[in-house]
Structure 1
Amino acid sequence: MVKSTTLQIFLVVAIVSFFGLLVIHRSLNIGAFSKAGKFIRKSVLADQAQEEEVPDSAGVPDDDSESDEDSELDGDTEFEVGGNFRPGSDDPAEDTWSNVRQRLPKALIIGFSKCGTTALRTFLTLHPNIVSPIEEVRYFNFNYTKGLDWYRRQMPPSTEDQITLEKTPSYIMSPIVLKRIYLFDSRVKLIIIIRDPIVRLQSQYAHSFRNVPEGARKPDFKIWVKGDSSENRITHFVGYTKYIRQVYDQFPKDQILVLAEEDFEQNPLSVMKEVEEFLGLEPAFSKEMFYFNKEKGFYCFNREHEFFPTVLKMVKVNSRTGCLGEDKGRDHPDIDEDFHKELVQFIRPHNEQLFRLIGKRIVWENFE
């Protein structure tokens, strides 16, 4: 009888323990599924947010253009429009984490080549609310078929308070590219920088023959400028008006900022402040960020400034001097007096058209 009672008690305890463990196990599973569910829901929301930022595309007909860029474009491809949907969260700490991610640009430096676009982009990255990829992405002309997801992945991580800025100076050369940009985001801010046309020709010449061995013969500057026809290369490199007018035809003027390379070269701080205001950013630039390098002949980053370690992570800069790469500040070819007069006479009317279009006059040394 005692044995039987003991056995009964043992069975009851075992059954109760079994059901107790079952309840605990089930409770733990429910908690795990609940957490997993929350994680999945958040992931879905994040994916939806990504999709919301890229609404359906719209087709754009092909255009005729004299630009070299157009041969790389497919006018029948679809164009995608930008957006600004952002997911919310009840957890502030979680918002801080999810807020940092790769975003599509809100501002573009679209032109012109050999006008200081690299230096401009580089100096702008000193602003804590500007992020920018180091390399030219060339999405809207040469990489357009790769899609907006690919474009987004080329951007550095940013917060909602920051502006992602991309630089590809060849964007301005093609009306098809400008249409693509407009349909991507009709509110995007566009920055254009121009330069004394004769100095730009000299800079392009130096760039074109940068890899010619020392002592090797280079083509005469005059022959190179005239090219195959008497006005071919000149009109291409001095015809700012045609290309800026295309931008004005596509975008409101208050979204376009035209800068002069000479102003940037002589007083970078004033130009940085102008860009700050244009982009609607809080002032952050100061004269202590820059110093004039007499050997190079232009401004460089101040290595003593607290921002400099950050600069090294964002731009290609010489850590010893704070200056841009060796390809900046190359020696320009000399121009004989007669050819210089010929260039000035030909280019001056183009300059006058340009000044009327942009509504301001720029003092260029070659045309004083």
Structure 2
Amino acid sequence: MLFLHPQIQKAAGEVHFFDRDDNYGKGLEWYRRKMPYSFKGQITIEKSPSYFVTPEVPERIRAMNGSVKLLLIVREPVTRAISDYTQLRTHAATASTLTGTPQQQQQQQQQQQQQVARTFEELVMRPDGTINESYRPVAISLYHTYMHRWLEVFPREQILIVNGDQLIEDPVPQLRRIENFLGLEPRIGRHNFYFNHTKGFYCLRNDTSEKCLKESKGRRHPRVSPMVVTKLRKFFNEHNQRFYELVGEDLGWPEE
């Protein structure tokens, strides 16, 4: 979406420089070569979602540039966990590449089969009825546990929290906040979006072309038991409050 702005250039795909040791070991020159050409006055951006949850990343980014501006997109945690489950299940169903020793390959195959066969409810709830906090889609939705590290390294005013649910439902106000945060004149407006009823969210347009997000975006979520959704929301409520306190902002996520 930000690439619609004439003053923004973006790196292709996800660069994964700061979170993968093998890439980080290649040095800043490798990272620089992954960046697009830009003119003076333009801003270069890249995104790699796993930066947020990887312990070493904040320090590594500061070592490169302590004045960098950071955008963090967060969704309501229960929705995010279900979305994560949907993506993991799709990947597991289509994954064919197994690596490592025969024993490791067998383990990978079992994990893939388990991911496809088990429902979200089975993975997210323990037999005793408590929430399985070690299930990765749940663990990654405990935003305050990761935010702490970022705020130890970067001042709060260098991080903009973007409401991912609002970004999907009505992109322009969120993008206006981002333009303002980045010190850019407002150029992205309603004329840049049209609603795609098949996908259920907005697609982008500029003067020359139209583009919808790739197939992996907007997958239909499985129906999850309302009782489990309520339990999860109650579980996340305390964690969400801690996140709100940390960032000084209430995102108004449902409490039950």
Structure-1-length-normalised TM-score: 0.59
SS in 2 for 1:210: helix
User: 2:224 is matched with which residue: 335, 353, 358?
Assistant: 335
Q: Give me the whole-angstrom Cα distance separating, in 2, the residues matched to 1:134 and 1:367.
A: 38
Match of 1:358 in 2: 247
Matching of residues 7-156 of structure 1 within 5 Å? 123-142=1-20, 143-156=23-36
Any runs of at least 4 consecutive aligned residues in structure 1 with deviations exceeding 6 A, and if so which? none
Match of 1:274 in 2: 177
Identity rate of aligned residues, in percent? 37
Measure how far apart 1:218 and its partner are: 2.6
SS in 1 for 2:25: helix
Higher-Rg structure is 1
Does the aligned pair in 1 maintain the 2:70–2:159 contact within 8 Å? yes
Q: Give me the whole-angstrom Cα distance separating, in 2, the residues matched to 1:367 and 1:265.
A: 21
SS in 2 for 1:259: strand
SS in 2 for 1:231: coil
Per-residue displacement from partner, 1:13-35 (whole Å, max 9, x unpaired)? xxxxxxxxxxxxxxxxxxxxxxx
Structure 2: runs of 5 or more not aligned: 95-112
User: 1:224 is matched with which residue: 116, 123, 132?
Assistant: 123
Measure how far apart 1:282 and its partner are: 1.7
Measure how far apart 1:175 and its partner are: 3.2
The 10-residue stretch of structure 1 (167-176 or 180-189) with the greater mean CA deviation from structure 2: 167-176
Measure how far apart 1:307 and its partner are: 4.7
Seen in structure 2, the aligned counterparts of structure 1 residues 156 and 227 have a Cα distance that, compared at 3 Å, is: farther
Amino acid at match of 1:367: E
Q: Give me the whole-angstrom Cα distance separating, in 1, the residues matched to 2:213 and 2:145.
A: 31
Does the aligned pair in 1 maintain the 2:73–2:161 contact within 8 Å? yes
Does the aligned pair in 2 maintain the 1:190–1:256 contact within 8 Å? yes
Q: Give me the whole-angstrom Cα distance separating, in 1, the residues matched to 2:69 and 2:139.
A: 25
Matching of residues 232-247 of structure 1 within 5 Å? 232-233=134-135, 235-247=138-150
Does the aligned pair in 2 maintain the 1:344–1:367 contact within 8 Å? yes
Measure how far apart 1:339 and its partner are: 1.8
Amino acid at match of 2:6: P
Amino acid at match of 1:270: P
Measure how far apart 1:277 and its partner are: 0.8
Q: Give me the whole-angstrom Cα distance separating, in 2, the residues matched to 1:176 and 1:301.
A: 34
Structure 1: runs of 5 or more not aligned: 1-122, 309-318
Q: How many residues align?
A: 229
Q: Give me the whole-angstrom Cα distance separating, in 2, the residues matched to 1:255 and 1:227.
A: 39
Measure how far apart 1:268 and its partner are: 0.8
Does the aligned pair in 1 maintain the 2:18–2:57 contact within 8 Å? yes
Q: Does 1:201 align with 2:81?
A: yes
Per-residue displacement from partner, 1:73-95 (whole Å, max 9, x unpaired)? xxxxxxxxxxxxxxxxxxxxxxx
Match of 1:178 in 2: 58
Amino acid at match of 2:122: I
Measure how far apart 1:235 and its partner are: 4.5
Does the aligned pair in 2 maintain the 1:201–1:225 contact within 8 Å? no
Does the aligned pair in 2 maintain the 1:124–1:130 contact within 8 Å? yes
Does the aligned pair in 2 maintain the 1:226–1:232 contact within 8 Å? no
Per-residue displacement from partner, 1:108-166 (whole Å, max 9, x unpaired)? xxxxxxxxxxxxxxx00001111111211111121100111111111111111111101
Measure how far apart 1:301 and its partner are: 1.1
Per-residue displacement from partner, 1:211-240 (whole Å, max 9, x unpaired)? 427xx9631111222489832126513210
Per-residue displacement from partner, 1:160-195 (whole Å, max 9, x unpaired)? 111110101111213321101111100000110111
Q: Give me the whole-angstrom Cα distance separating, in 2, the residues matched to 1:359 and 1:248.
A: 12
Amino acid at match of 2:118: P
Measure how far apart 1:265 and its partner are: 1.1
Q: Over the residues paired in the alignment, what is the CA RMSD in angstroms?
A: 2.1
Match of 1:306 in 2: 207
SS in 1 for 2:117: coil
Does the aligned pair in 2 maintain the 1:238–1:350 contact within 8 Å? no
Does the aligned pair in 2 maintain the 1:200–1:237 contact within 8 Å? no
